[in-house]
Structure 1
Amino acid sequence: MNTEKMKVHFTDNYLISPTNPIEVNLIGAGGTGSKVLTALMEMSHSLTELGHAGLQVRLWDDDIITEANLGRQRFAPSETGMYKSVALINRVNRFMGTNWKAETKKFERNDLGGLPENTKATIYITCVDNVQTRFDVTEMLKTMNIRRNHRDEAKYWIDFGNSRDTGQVILSTIGTIKQPDSEKYETVASLPMVTDEFGELLKQSEQTDNTPSCSLAEALEKQDLYINTTLAQMGCSLLWNMFRFGMTENRGFFLNLKNFQSQPLKIA
């Protein structure tokens, strides 16, 4: 008889029953980030309808909208020349009556090597095409002065990454999340950061050509039209299930959109 327990991670209690909206830092407002923001908007509204406090999102991106961004990214021709973060946040706030924030600068370390001042959050989501940015975020999260039992304590990091037809979403804990006693499951309190577990793979897979595309046609040679949308929906579904069911047996997935295959990454 197989008596091995399924390994799961129970969502931190504060995410389930918060006293205030959950603070989220969304880093990157491009092909994936713009779609993730829409999914977070839907998620926040759905949570509040269920009696939850919802989400409070701060979107970071210093890029300006160009014609090459139209079509694959969630921008309108009338928004060309605006900051991506401002255009998206203005739209969400008008649409849902929220008070989410836009940052028109890079998410960078402060003078002490930690997070930017007064911008701590409970959940960090990275949607960036630069591998070094992921390593910088890792160092910031590791060196920050975590304040336990405080509403803005950092707890989770979700990283979205992709190439032309493939991608992955990885959930990490920031430190250790207290787990309940369970007779049915083997609980896992700490989930490794993407850079610790897949750092070498990230470096090898980084695209050498990071120059901006001059047209949508050129952009589509680098990333397929629907890879970002698919990743955003599936990745946000992982977060949604953590809110709804209070636990997860998966900490992400690998996706190959070319052959329509998805491989879950189990808690280990």
Structure 2
Amino acid sequence: MKTPKLKAVKTAVHIVEKTLLNPYNPIVVNLIGAGGTGSQFLTALGRINHALIALNHPGLSVRVFDDDKVEEANLGRQLFSTAELGLHKAVALVNRINLFFGTNWKAIPEKYDLKTMQDEPELAMAEITITCVDTVKARFEIADLLSKVYASRRHSYHHPLYWMDFGNSRDIGQCIISTVAEIEQPASRKFEVVSRLPLVTDEFKELLKSSEKGDRTPSCSLAEAITQQDLFINSALANLGASLLWQLFSEGMLFNRGFFLNLKDFRTQPIKVTPNEVNNVKVLKPKRLKAQTPKAA
């Protein structure tokens, strides 16, 4: 009796849209939010742009959206100085990056919302959208906007392709890459190619809604801000996320579409690309010591 052959399980992979790898013009990137993670990630984008140009790639053309201004409580945790107090965060950061890297990136000191996109629809045209926002409502609005822009202008140049979202609490954070729509994939005998990476607002819809609880009152000092978010959670997230984005450009394929980070326990858990677009990933939570008693709410 012949033993039936076991079918080999192929590794799931997403092949990056080819227009990002060999473009004629710089890739347009919209960075939404210039606070804790956004201010750190913009510097990483400057480094990625510099490296891409050195590899004969046209590089990146970045627009930064944020209507907030630099306050005293932002200093230390976010990349701002006392000389920038009172300036719009987007303007302060982009001016600094342009001077340092010699780029010509743009600051948009406005909210990335439906009104702004209706007034200036071209601002929504970006191959990569990166969100570093602190509200669940903003994420759902952005997801809706990206879907509408793709549906109406998917044949236009610089139409939305990828969405990278950052989010965090005090010690825990995550970064997830999604595709706005299906990306055409080449045939492969070696890999199980995945054309669509699920939107964070679809895959983690209930988790996002349940997380929108607690006091969102702005911090009045750095000391108070640190009690709400660890001093290095944003920079840790930004660096890992930048590494993921760099893999997208340098390797042209993604085996991981994101990660969860637990800074308290120094643990990182990747989110694998899967054929069925379902990830049974548990959010990493800090381990509680037996001797430690929970604090009252």
| TM-score over 0.5 for the pair | yes
Amino acid at match of 1:96: F
Match of 2:121 in 1: 117
In the superposition, the TM-score normalised over structure 2's length comes to: 0.87
Amino acid at match of 2:207: L
Q: Displacement, 1:147?
A: 3.5
Q: Who wins on radius of gyration, i.e. which is larger?
A: 2
Match of 1:245 in 2: 251
Distance 1:58 1:168 in 2: 23
Match of 1:53 in 2: 58
Distance 1:116 1:264 in 2: 37
Amino acid at match of 2:81: A
Look up the SS of the partner of 1:18 in the other structure.
Answer: coil
1:256 aligns with 2:267: no
- The CA deviation string for residues 134-161 of structure 1, in whole angstroms up to 9 with x for no partner, is 0000110111245445431110000000
Distance 1:67 1:128 in 2: 20
Match of 1:30 in 2: 35
Amino acid at match of 1:92: I
Closer/same/farther in 2, CA of residues 177 and 146 from structure 1, 3 Å limit: farther
Match of 2:137 in 1: 132
- Within 5 Å, give how 1:151-170 maps onto structure 2: 151-170=157-176
Q: Displacement, 1:205?
A: 1.4
Q: Give the alignment partner of residue 217 of structure 1, picking from 219, 223, 235.
A: 223
Residues 155 and 175, structure 1, Cα contact 8 Å, conserved in 2: yes
Residues 114 and 143, structure 1, Cα contact 8 Å, conserved in 2: no
Match of 1:42 in 2: 47
Q: Displacement, 1:125?
A: 0.3
What is the CA RMSD across the aligned residues, in angstroms?
1.5
- The CA deviation string for residues 228-256 of structure 1, in whole angstroms up to 9 with x for no partner, is 00100101111100100000111101110
Match of 2:17 in 1: 12
- The CA deviation string for residues 11-59 of structure 1, in whole angstroms up to 9 with x for no partner, is 1001100110000000000000000100000000000000001000000
Distance 1:56 1:209 in 2: 36
Q: Give 5+ residue unaligned stretches, structure 1.
A: none
Deviates more, 1:144-153 or 1:231-240: 144-153
Residues 123 and 157, structure 1, Cα contact 8 Å, conserved in 2: yes
In the superposition, the TM-score normalised over structure 1's length comes to: 0.96
Look up the SS of the partner of 2:271 in the other structure.
Answer: strand
Amino acid at match of 2:49: S
Amino acid at match of 2:259: F
Match of 2:277 in 1: none
Match of 1:63 in 2: 68
Match of 1:232 in 2: 238
Amino acid at match of 1:232: A
Distance 2:213 2:220 in 1: 17
Q: How many residues align?
A: 267
Match of 2:95 in 1: 90
Match of 2:287 in 1: none
Distance 1:233 1:218 in 2: 24
Amino acid at match of 2:218: P
Distance 1:151 1:232 in 2: 28
Look up the SS of the partner of 2:122 in the other structure.
Answer: coil
Distance 1:151 1:182 in 2: 28
Q: Give the alignment partner of residue 104 of structure 2, picking from 75, 78, 99.
A: 99
Closer/same/farther in 2, CA of residues 174 and 116 from structure 1, 3 Å limit: farther
Q: Displacement, 1:110?
A: 3.6
Higher relative contact order (CA 8 A, sep 6+): 1
1:79 aligns with 2:84: yes
Amino acid at match of 2:108: E
Q: Give 5+ residue unaligned stretches, structure 2.
A: 1-5, 275-297
Amino acid at match of 1:118: E
Closer/same/farther in 2, CA of residues 115 and 246 from structure 1, 3 Å limit: farther
What is the percent sequence identity of the aligned residues? 54
